[in-house]
Chain A
Amino acid sequence: MDTPISGSVYVAPSLSTALDALHEGGSAAAPFAGGTWIMRAPIRHEQLKSRYVAIGKIPELHTIKVDADAVEIGAAVTHAALATALAELGEFDVLTAAAGHSANPAIRTMATIGGNLATTAFAAADCVPALLCLDAEVEIASRDDRERTSLEQFLTMRSTLAPGRLLHRIIVPRRDRKTVHARLPLRRAGDYPTAIVSLAMILDDAGLVETARIAVGSVEPVARRWGRLETALIGHPLNAAKAAEAAAELADEFAGRDAADVPGWYRVRVLPGLVRRAVAALGS
């Protein structure tokens, strides 16, 4: 039902005022970023919170800082802004593609990177596996402190994050790597992907895989790294067919989530193909 429930929205002008408001609101309050998830609460038959702290107008949460050894992304950076900002940096192809192809064009100008990472119930978030394979870290702010943690760690604790805390920044280390994002929607575009394979590879001088980061999204409720496949690829040249073969052998470690539109087996079954496509896109 499309019932708007009454509530209040505080449009925070700065991070500190946002954190104060979240602190004071306690469990009745929640941050409001792009709104593309929260405003759809009625279709999920969820109650809206009584108090929202809108963080979309806080300048420092909108910045993308590109340094020599890391990129820092404010939590309220939109998908569209992120895709544009990183377009020229090849090592971030995976993130540019994730941010630049999610949902649809208008949603990409609203949905934020912070919202994408913090929404526990959204299994098909594109940026989560993309950032996992980039070894991203996140910074969580509260009125009294800042805590930095790996994205992997954050994903395990995000649903139980204490009130008053806000994911405010994502830090992505810079490396000389090749990256790619392979996503599979049911239509050509415009849906959430049924499965995602995000890849980041560092090759040695001989062209062999030195480090591999492979993350799988949308298949299970929470995106995760595919450690066994990473191990299988290390020390070998990039080869799409061989990578797909290895993926096929290892894919049964995933328990695909069943949904109204996609059966769990399908999400797992397409993984080798996505791995093949991803590796092939890296140029081999």
Chain B
Amino acid sequence: MSDASATMNFRRRDAADKLRGRTRYTIDRYLPGMLHAAVLRASVPSGRITRLDTSRAARMPGVRAIVTAADAPGMIGIGIADHPLFARDVIRYDGEPIAAIAADTLMQARAALAAIDVEIEPLPVVLTMADALAVDAPLVHPAWRNYEVLLAGGARGGNVAWEATVVRGDVDVAFARPDVEIIESCFRVGRQNHVAFEPRAVVASYEDGRFHIETSTQVPWTIRNATARLLGVPASQVRVTVPPVGGGFGLKFDLAIEPFAALLARASGRPVRLVNSREEEMLTCLFRENADIRIRSAVTRRGEIVGREAVVLMDCGAYGGEQIFLTTMTAHTLGGNYRLGAVRLVSRAIYTNTAPNGAFRACNGVYNTFALERHTDEIAARIGMDPLVFRRRNVLGDSDFGATGQVFEGDVLGPMLDRMDTMRDAAAIPPKRTDGRLYGRATAVGTWFVFVGPSAATVNMNADGTATLVTSGVEIGSGSMMQALPQIVAGTLGLAPDDVIVRAADTDAAGYDVGVGGGRTTVSLGAASLSAAQEVRTKLLKVASEMIEAAPGDLVMRAGRIEIAGAPGSGRTISEVATRAQAQFGPVSGTGAFTGSGVPAMPGCVAGHFIDAIDIPVFAVHDCEVAVDTETGHVEVLSYRVVQDVGRALNPRAIHGQIQGGVVQGLGYALHEEVTIGSNGRVRQNGFETYRVPLALDILPVEINLYEGAPSIGPLGTKGAGEVPILNVGAAIACAVANATGKRVQELPLTPPRVLALLLDREPALSLPHIADSWIDNLVRPHGTAE
């Protein structure tokens, strides 16, 4: 196969229109006769709806339709169906939808919201995970036992929405060994807002008895299926198409506002546009969740980790959502990086009366990596070992067991650490520092994995020598759909990537897909596309072999021709062959499908997990140097280096762009971006004045080294590259700040006030009294026991 031709720094085809302001994102779509919608949201975090009367609002000027909970009977969720579209009887978070209105203008729709008569009687509130886990805490979902279970096996109870556990080996024995030091660390992180520049936006219409939803999403099939479930209609009645998406980062990996617009379109008979305001985006973001983490290790003085246990509390907000699934990941993120003797981990998704959280680039991994790497430095300090030496001694290598007992293939992290040493050594020696700031450096390791899962692709060979690739993939900005996929198809068929037309996602046109996220686009959609292209290739070569009178095995496809290998210019153009094939047999097409291979875990190791082991691990090593201003707490990042395991780099330049962008987003998480929740249950950062993302003056060019050659089941040896760059940033910065200041960094983000408080010892060390001292006391039920 001519896969070498798939590697290139191919420019993306959507750039020119984006640069000219011509690209029409969902927010730019205006249909004839379209109505504008607005959503009435609760302004209390917990309460009972005692009256809801829309009759006055219905008489307001311009109002065409009003929908409420009565119009959406279904419940959705991951693992557990706990989430209705509108609050029914009970409000569980500030901002929860109560009703939606479509009117001729947006101003009319918003004016009508104010005319909805609603009375809410306050109920007790739990705003923090500590509140939620207190004895006799009010339950966010008193009827949790009655919910439909979508995946069996997760332990649940009260405000614990889901619990996933890993137990391998005997941790108690390891901790009781006489030759070990016991090191315990506590960490806490806040939420992070994706700040996708395009807010959640949708235009829905109701045509011929079916819903057509145009939306800004990463997951067209989830939108299709979840909307149908909420509305109580067959999924086949929902068609989802996706224009270019103005930023996702995981925010758009879940259902959002689509069903409101769909219901209003059906009720009014008109297309309906609904766009979240920036404030709605800031307050009901589906944030990266806040988390509380306790990790404890038994380590010999020679640096062997003989036992480890951890409790990770993940705040899912008022509904389980993605966090239910993400409990699975602690096994591979907090339980990753290093060889462990015995291990036990519990990851718990906790209900609170706050806005639901969601997925965000390297979900769960960023804070678990922060916790793991800071803990690793605390271990190294305790046993008096250089932190790099300790890491090198313990990183996962060939044939090592992961936390769930899967066997890793290949030595990857060790050579990556070597490569980082080389990069660091090659850097210029920094000048003498005399400015009074504190300087520190750190190297942090991270383990991520590609969410594989099902994908489908069709390649239609056109008689003019172009190919059309049809998938449910979405271009969210990463370039996978603009660069990697057409490169893979073009490389297989000997075409220029520009001759591969990429169809925008349409659930009526392409088969099921899990969605664009988790680093899976190039891998899963890429593999499906590769297999579809290979089928086309086989068909074309068969026809060509008759035309050229050569065996298919002697033919190659390159530069738009099918020719005899070693005889450039022989044979025919692909267009000629495709034209002949079409006339003889009908148009040529190929289909492909892909899903994960299912790497096995050790039997009995996991409970409540959505996957047991990881098909494609991805590793990263980051290194940075910081300066800390002791008067103000400002942290300046002086250098940042990344060695990233990419399997194979199909488009190195595009990957570099992903790494620079991901690292900067991680710098925001590590240093600037803070979300806090007021005593009224409302997120306090409602706009860009108080929520600070990095600006051009805050960043630096990242030095990048792509590590190729690690094993991967991805097409052509690829791994996802866009997800992982953010993974280690919080960890690297936190370790460097700890090294610079000599203080125990336990929380992110390291905003100037937090760093100054640390320098001044203003606050006691973080402790997490709502995590029980004995690991087993944190569990709803013992690992491996049935309900």
Q: Do chains A and B touch in the complex (CB under 8 A)?
A: yes
Alpha-carbon distance A186/B110, docked complex (angstroms): 35
The answer to whether B692 touches A43, judged by C-beta atoms less than 8 angstroms apart, is no
The answer to whether A270 touches B695, judged by C-beta atoms less than 8 angstroms apart, is no
A225 on interface, CB distance cutoff 8 Å = no
B697 on interface, CB distance cutoff 8 Å = yes
Alpha-carbon distance A270/B633, docked complex (angstroms): 9
Partner of B690, one of A1, A189, A261, A273: A261
Alpha-carbon distance A259/B697, docked complex (angstroms): 24
Contacts A43-B687, A188-B697, A189-B695 known; A1 to B753 CB distance under 8 Å? Answer: no
Q: Which 10 A-B pairs have the closest CB atoms?
A: A273-B631, A260-B684, A188-B697, A266-B753, A261-B690, A260-B690, A190-B695, A43-B687, A1-B277, A2-B277
The answer to whether B676 touches A270, judged by C-beta atoms less than 8 angstroms apart, is no
Within 8 A of B (CB), among A157-195: 184, 186-192, 194
Alpha-carbon distance A2/B752, docked complex (angstroms): 31
Contacts A1-B110, A186-B752, A269-B756 known; A261 to B674 CB distance under 8 Å? Answer: yes
The answer to whether A263 touches B753, judged by C-beta atoms less than 8 angstroms apart, is yes
Residues of A within 8 A of B107 (CB): 3-4
Contacts A3-B107, A261-B692 known; A189 to B753 CB distance under 8 Å? Answer: no
The answer to whether A270 touches B632, judged by C-beta atoms less than 8 angstroms apart, is yes
Residues of B within 8 A of A269 (CB): 756, 760
The answer to whether A266 touches B756, judged by C-beta atoms less than 8 angstroms apart, is yes
Alpha-carbon distance A186/B632, docked complex (angstroms): 9
B686 on interface, CB distance cutoff 8 Å = yes
Residues of B within 8 A of A4 (CB): 107
| B residues in contact (CB < 8 Å) with A | 106-107, 110, 277-280, 631-633, 672, 674, 676, 684-687, 689-690, 692, 694-695, 697-698, 751-753, 756-757, 760, 762
| 28 A-B contact pairs sorted by A residue (CB < 8 Å) | A1-B110, A1-B279, A2-B277, A3-B106, A3-B107, A3-B110, A43-B278, A43-B279, A43-B686, A186-B672, A187-B694, A187-B697, A187-B698, A188-B695, A188-B698, A189-B695, A189-B697, A194-B752, A260-B685, A261-B674, A263-B753, A265-B762, A266-B753, A266-B756, A269-B760, A270-B632, A270-B756, A273-B632
Closest residue of A by beta carbon distance from B280: A1
The answer to whether A187 touches B279, judged by C-beta atoms less than 8 angstroms apart, is no
Alpha-carbon distance A192/B110, docked complex (angstroms): 31
Main SS of chain B's interface residues?
A: loop
Residues of B within 8 A of A213 (CB): none
Residues of A within 8 A of B753 (CB): 262-263, 266
Contacts A4-B107, A43-B279, A184-B632 known; A190 to B697 CB distance under 8 Å? Answer: yes
Residues of A within 8 A of B672 (CB): 186-187
Closest residue of B by beta carbon distance from A3: B110
Closest residue of A by beta carbon distance from B684: A260
Residues of A within 8 A of B278 (CB): 2, 43
Alpha-carbon distance A262/B110, docked complex (angstroms): 33
What 5 new A-B contacts, CB under 8 Å, besides A43-B686, A43-B687, A261-B690?
Answer: A1-B110, A187-B692, A189-B697, A266-B633, A270-B632
Alpha-carbon distance A213/B563, docked complex (angstroms): 85
A79 on interface, CB distance cutoff 8 Å = no
Closest residue of B by beta carbon distance from A259: B690
Residues of A within 8 A of B676 (CB): 260
Residues of A within 8 A of B697 (CB): 187-190
Residues of A within 8 A of B752 (CB): 186, 194, 266
Within 8 A of B (CB), among A233-284: 259-263, 265-266, 269-270, 272-273, 276
Residues of A within 8 A of B751 (CB): 186, 261
Alpha-carbon distance A190/B280, docked complex (angstroms): 23
Closest residue of B by beta carbon distance from A6: B107
Residues of A within 8 A of B631 (CB): 270, 272-273, 276
Alpha-carbon distance A254/B480, docked complex (angstroms): 54
Closest residue of A by beta carbon distance from B632: A270
Alpha-carbon distance A190/B672, docked complex (angstroms): 13
Alpha-carbon distance A3/B633, docked complex (angstroms): 38
Alpha-carbon distance A266/B697, docked complex (angstroms): 23
Least Cβ–Cβ distance between A107 and chain B, in angstroms? 12
Residues of B within 8 A of A184 (CB): 632
Alpha-carbon distance A265/B278, docked complex (angstroms): 30
Contacts A260-B684, A270-B632 known; A187 to B690 CB distance under 8 Å? Answer: no
Residues of A within 8 A of B760 (CB): 269
Residues of B within 8 A of A266 (CB): 633, 752-753, 756-757
Alpha-carbon distance A191/B695, docked complex (angstroms): 10
Residues of B within 8 A of A187 (CB): 672, 692, 694-695, 697-698
Interface centre among A2, A184, A186, A276 (most CB of B within 10 A): A186
Alpha-carbon distance A276/B699, docked complex (angstroms): 27
Interface centre among B633, B687, B752, B762 (most CB of A within 10 A): B752
Least Cβ–Cβ distance between B532 and chain A, in angstroms? 44
